[in-house]
Amino acid sequence: MAKYENLIPRFLKYVKINTRSNPNSGTIPSTPQLTEFAEGLVKDLKEIGLDNVHINKQCAYVYATLPANTDKQVKKIGFISHFDTADFNSENINPQFVENYDGKSVIKLDDSGKYTLDPAVFPNLKNYQGHTLITTDGSTLLGADDKSGVAEIMAAAEYLLAHPEIKHGEIEIGLGPDEEIGSGADHFDVKDFGADIAYTVDGGPLGQLEYETFNAADAQVEITGTNVHPAEAKGVMVNASQVAMDFHAALPEHDRPEHTEGREGFFHLYSMNGTVDSAHLSYIIRDHDRQIFEDRKKLFQGVADQLNKEYGSDRVQVTIKDQYYNMREVIEKDMTVVDLAKEALEELNIKPLIFPVRGGTDGSKISYLGLPTPNLFAGGENMHGRFEYVSEQTMEQATDVVIKIAELAEQQA
């Protein structure tokens, strides 16, 4: 029998429910299905036997508490995951199983073989020799991001309840919606949650431990032209589309996603449209270094200022909004939360994989709300699309890590 009896069954039950979040919704959470899913989680968490199970007053996160079973003063540890899925078909998810994968075969996802998992394309498959893989049928995403995290946290809590000989402090669980549309963590209530340190269990492959993210801003550029008949345009026409191209050309040409890696930041033009009369450019600005991030925003505004000076009027309007910041700034002040996870991985003979994330996590926001929250692996690969898969064994190991962190924190208190 599997060590965590309900881990995979619960995961399968959850992925079959469509919880794709909606970026164009103004509601919290972004769809009625997410509310329904949250209510289902409340029921399941109560059934496991957890205390204080409730949906927070922002109507977003489901919280639950596993009471301490020790007299020691142990830091309260939170484990956080999200149950919405990315912007990809999530209707009728039909998980497929590959038992005892040989680490080299091409896996057919759909019957026709149009979509496959090929180690030549996805080399990480080679790491899964002997594993049971759960894949899609090629028509949807899987939703391991991040229902694997949800199922792992719940399995860990269930295991700890069944094994009182493992001593631990109070454990807080937080399962939330709308991570994929970037708004979920805005409705995280740190005070209600009650943890001293926390982890999102939302990373990828075995061993991932992330505590460094981008600093992130969204930047919109609105350009106003002067549209006259091309025949009589000399000295009069200002072509907004031309100004837009000039704007883009004035940004550092190598600071783009396709030319950068590691800790190199960028300006990413993700949408553009324009006529002679008006044009609009949409960017994201990213950098791990806070000072360089601030400089990037200044440079961006500076390009607009320079163009406005040349035209003698405010034709280029820039609106920059910060989205989230590098959690490292917060976490560095007290590395306990990272050290604890590292030790847990090492005790379980899992090699810690620590790299700066070229993105953000819910923890980027939650850390700035005062709760240091690095990100632990949950096991998923190829997230956000039809090639997503996860290994049952890796999910078990992620569950082991959650338990080990709770255990170590008690031993060290």
CB of 145 or CB of 158, closer to Zn ion: 145
367 φ, ψ to 5°? -60, -40
* Nearer of residues 146 and 178 to Zn ion, judged by Cβ: 146
Alpha carbon of 304 to those of 50, 164, 190, 291, 375: distances in Å? 55, 63, 39, 20, 37
145 binding Zn ion? (CB under 5 A): yes
Q: How far apart are CA 285 and CA 217, in angstroms?
A: 5
Minimum distance, C-beta of residue 182 to Zn ion, in the bound complex (Å): 11
Residue 102 among known ligand-binding residues = no
Q: Note if 137 is an active site residue.
A: no
145 known member of a binding site: yes
| Number of residues counted as binding Zn ion (CB under 5 A) | 3
Question: From CA 320, how far away is CA 316, in angstroms rounded?
Answer: 13
- What track of x and - describes contact with Zn ion for positions 161 through 200 (by CB under 5 A)? ----------------------------------------
204 vs 274 by CB, closer to Zn ion? 204
DSSP 104-166: SSPEE-STT-SSEE-TTT-GGGGGGTTPPEEE--SSS---HHHHHHHHHHHHHHHHHHH-TTS
Exactly one of 146, 152, 170, 179 is catalytic; name it: 179
C-beta closer to Zn ion: residue 78 or 274: 78
Which pair of structure tokens corresponds to residue 94? 């039909």
The only residue of 84, 170, 202, 212 in contact with Zn ion, by rule CB under 5 A: 202
280 is in an annotated binding site: no
Phi, psi of 221 (to 5 degrees): -120, 120
Among 44, 84, 146, 210, binds Zn ion (CB under 5 A): 146
Query: CA 234, CA 103: separation in Å to the nearest integer?
Result: 66
Q: Cβ closer to Zn ion: 33 or 200?
A: 200
Judge whether 179 counts as a catalytic residue.
Answer: yes
Distance, CA of 122 to CA of 187 (rounded, Å): 35
Q: How far apart are CA 380 and CA 134, in angstroms?
A: 10
Q: Which range of residues in 9-17, 143-151, 228-236, 244-252 is near Zn ion by CB under 5 A? A: 143-151
The beta-strand segments (E) located in 246-327 are 266-274, 278-287, 316-324
Active site residues: 84, 179
Per the annotation, binding residues are: 82, 145, 180, 202, 384
Per the annotation, binding residues for Zn(2+) are: 82, 145, 180, 202, 384
Binding residues (CB under 5 A) for Zn ion: these are 145-146, 202
